[in-house]
Each structure stands twice: as C-alpha cells, then as structure tokens.
Amino acid sequence: MLVAPKEVSEEGKNWRDIYFTAIFDGSHFVISRSDYVETNFAPPVDTVGEQFQLRDFIPGARAAIALKKPIVHTPVAGIIKQDNPTFIDGTAIDPQGLAYAVLAGLVPEEHFEKVIEHFKKADSKIGIQVFVPISGKTREEDEWLKNVKGMVVWPHVSWTAAKALIKMGALHMAEEQIKKLMEHCDCREWVACDPVTGEVFKGGDPEQGWSATAMLSGMAALKEYYAA
C-alpha cells in the first residue's frame, strides 16, 4: 500500500494560489459557455435510442461488432489497423478506465502499484497519453495524429488519472501530471507531442468544456488532500 505524505512540500505550498487561479479561469470558461453546455446536455428525443444502446454496457460487445464490419478508409482507420490493433480486440490498457475504477473504489489497494505502473508506461513529456480514435479537423491535425500513432493527451482523461493518483497516495506523480497539464494543455481538446523532437501540438477545440471541468475537479481533489 502506498501512503501519501501529509506534510506539504515546498512546491506544494504554491498550490493554493494555483488552485484559485484554476478555479477562476475554469469557472469563467464554464459560465461563458453555459448556454452551449445546456443545449448539448439535452439530446433530441429521436436520437436517444441511438445514443444509449445496451451493447455499450456489455464488455467486449463493441469489439465483437467492430470486428464483423469492414474498416472505413479514413485517417484514423489506418492508425487503428497499423498501430493500435488492440483497440479493436479490446485488450489495450486503458488509463481512463483504470482511473475511473480507482475512483469508484473497484481496485483493491494491493493492486495500486500495478495501476501506477500502467500510468507510468503511458506517461510522456506532456502527461499521460491515451489512444483516441479520432480523425483531425484539418490536414495538419491528421498529419500529427498519424505521426504520434494516435497517442495524445486528452486532458479530461489525464486529469481523471491525476485524481486517481491522489487517491492511491502517489502524490508526487499526481503533482507532476498536474504541472504538465497546466503547462501544455490549457482547456484544449487534445495535445500531441512529437516522440523525436519533443515539439508540442495543440489540436481540436481550443476551449473544451470537459477539459475545463476536469481541471476544476482535479484541482479540487488536490486541495482536499492538502486540507485533510
């Protein structure tokens, strides 16, 4: 079992200021987009059946369905087929799923070390990376996604992983993740890092609601830990 130190590090002493800055920036963003959020949180009645399928809640069902269908020739399809075949068969390690499992109390403490090890394997200069099955909105984004083989930092996932690290007592790694996210990601939809040059590219929506709210949630978790 990992035990997080209760004394606050020198760097940790600055988190109060960082927290309130994040709260202000994130809250301002969420409020400014409240109409957009309200509209998009209310799905049209005629699409509810398409959005909520029983198969979405059956492990392996999506993979089984996907394997029976031909892969559409889009940029992301090529990335999946060539570089991430485990995404289709369902055997890929999923930092997002692991983070949610930890936060939901589904992971016994004796397995925390294994989860942290998976997070370390997925870590990068800009934070914990995941494979995101998306195509770019521009040719430049497509080129970047191809170059990094679809492995990007999706801020709302990385912030969730940071919260899981705090819960597991891995405070040092959690602080490192938060620093990377605040330095490189802002409220972007996704961020990529060239594995050779280290160049950072910010893609997708520059002001994404789930990135902003995940930031607030992550900083609140850190504040709660220090206050305990």
Segment 198-217, tens digit of pLDDT: 999 999 988 888 888 899 89
More confident residue, 28 or 187: 187
Enclosing H/E stretch for 131: strand 130-131
The boundaries of the domain holding residue 23 are 11-52+93-227
pLDDT at residue 100, rounded to an integer = 93
pTM over 0.75: no
pLDDT at residue 207, rounded to an integer = 86
> Does 85 reside within a domain?
no
pLDDT at residue 43, rounded to an integer = 39
**127-155 residue pLDDT tens:** 999 988 778 889 999 999 999 998 999 99
Token pair belonging to 178: 């938060």
pLDDT at residue 49, rounded to an integer = 40
> Does 61 reside within a domain?
no
**50-67 residue pLDDT tens:** 443 434 444 444 455 555
> Does 223 reside within a domain?
yes
More confident residue, 89 or 31: 89
pLDDT at residue 198, rounded to an integer = 94
> Does 19 reside within a domain?
yes
Averaged pLDDT for residues 78-87: 71
> How many Cα atoms are found within 13 Å in the side-chain-facing hemisphere of 17?
4
For the chain, the distance separating the N- and C-terminal CA atoms, rounded to the nearest angstrom, is: 19
> Does 81 reside within a domain?
no
> Does 119 reside within a domain?
yes
pLDDT at residue 155, rounded to an integer = 93
Q: Which long-range contacts (CB under 8 A, 24 or more apart) does 9-17 make?
A: 9/175, 11/175, 12/175, 12/226, 15/222, 15/223, 15/226, 16/223, 16/226
Domain count for the chain, please give it.
Answer: 1
Averaged pLDDT for residues 89-104: 85
> Does 129 reside within a domain?
yes
> Does 5 reside within a domain?
no
Give the pLDDT band of residue 21 (cuts 50, 70, 90): low
> How many Cα atoms are found within 13 Å in the side-chain-facing hemisphere of 145?
27
**145-190 residue pLDDT tens:** 999 998 999 999 999 999 999 999 999 999 999 999 999 998 899 9
